[in-house]
Structure 1
Amino acid sequence: MAEVKEDNQLYDDINVTPMLDLAYVLLVVFIILTTASVQGVKVNSPQTLAVKSLAKPQTRAITVTRDGGMYLDAYPVTLETLADGLARYKASNPALPVVVKGDADAQYEKIMAVLEVCKKLDITEVGLVTKRVGS
């Protein structure tokens, strides 16, 4: 006689592999979204009519706030630590691109000090961040 096998068998355990796959995907998405949201220090950029995109890989951002505070990629720095940090980046990438984000109400002297540091380190790719008029 032939044995009959039922397709509707009860299982003693639950297959959690699909749930773990979903959990790992959600974890990766969460990590990417939270690290992408940290972009730097907010400043009120001056406005201009001519705007050109300066986005390049490995671009370093120097931010000067209204009260004169300076940041290198969202980390607070002084002129000395700014020069040290840029020198390290310049050693690994000789064509280091830098953008300066100055608040519209920042002291002009602070912006010039940052540009002097870039000049001393022979950083030639320097851009100034502005807002397009009407944005």
Structure 2
Amino acid sequence: MAFGRLERSEAPRPISDINVTPLVDVMLVLVVILIITAPLMASSLRLDLPQAEAAQPTDAPRFVTVGIAPQGHLFLDDKPVSAEQLAQGLARAAGRSRDTEVQLRADRTVPYGTVVEVMGAAQKAGLNRIGFVAEPR
């Protein structure tokens, strides 16, 4: 020891490793909060609902199938019909339910005009829901 001098020890080196303990603590707290609040998110209200005839689930949507063969022949629900019979059949289907869907199956060689005529007959009968049926590739 020299006169007026204090011996200095080397300062501790900084720790360069990442301390993951606080991260794990925070994550565990979040998991506990999630475990506690998850049952509260589900509805725990138990009701004894009344029963009624009108509360039945709706039936599957009704549809009629209209087919157009390559030669231009018309089919209603796979039965050959004329243009007048098609219009009458579509009107009957619309009379049963306005939500009836027309599933149009036309050959790829059918002229576009024929398809438009069938669509017009369906709309004239009051059926506005028209679906085009196609084969998957």
Which of the five TM-score ranges fits, normalised by the shorter chain?
Answer: 0.5 to 0.7
Please state if 1:66 is matched with 2:81: no
Matched, 1:128 2:97: no
Contact conserved, 2:98 with 2:126, CA < 8 A, in 1?
Answer: no
Structure 2 CA distance for aligned equivalents of residues 98 and 126 of structure 1:
5
Matched, 1:118 2:132: no
Q: Distance in 2 between matches of 1:131 and 1:76?
A: 22
Alignment of 1:50-89 (within 5 A): 57-89=61-93
Q: Following TM superposition, where does structure 1 have runs of at least 4 consecutive aligned residues deviating by more than 4 angstroms?
A: none
- How many residue pairs align between the two structures? 78
Query: 1:97 corresponds to which residue?
Result: 101
Aligned residue number for residue 26 of structure 1: none
Counterpart-to-counterpart distance in 2, 1:90 and 1:80: 15
Aligned counterparts of 1:94 and 1:128: Cα–Cα separation in 2: 18
Q: What do residues 25-58 of structure 1 show as CA deviations (whole Å, max 9, x unaligned)? A: xxxxxxxxxxxxxxxxxxxxxxxxxxxxxxx542
Higher relative contact order (CA 8 A, sep 6+): 1
Deviation at 1:121, TM superposition (A): 1.6
Q: Secondary structure at the match of 2:102?
A: strand
Q: Is 2:110 the partner of 1:106? A: yes
The letter for the 2-side match of 1:99 is Q
- TM-score, length-normalised on structure 2? 0.53
- CA distance in 1 between counterparts of 2:99 and 2:125 reads 11
Q: How many Å apart are 1:131 and its aligned residue? A: 2.2
Report sequence identity in percent.
26
Greater Cα radius of gyration, structure 1 or 2: 2
Q: Which amino acid aligns with 2:87?
A: A
Q: CA RMSD in A?
A: 1.3
Shift of 1:59: 1.2
Question: More displaced, 56-65 or 113-122?
Answer: 56-65
Unaligned stretches of 5+ residues in structure 2? 1-59
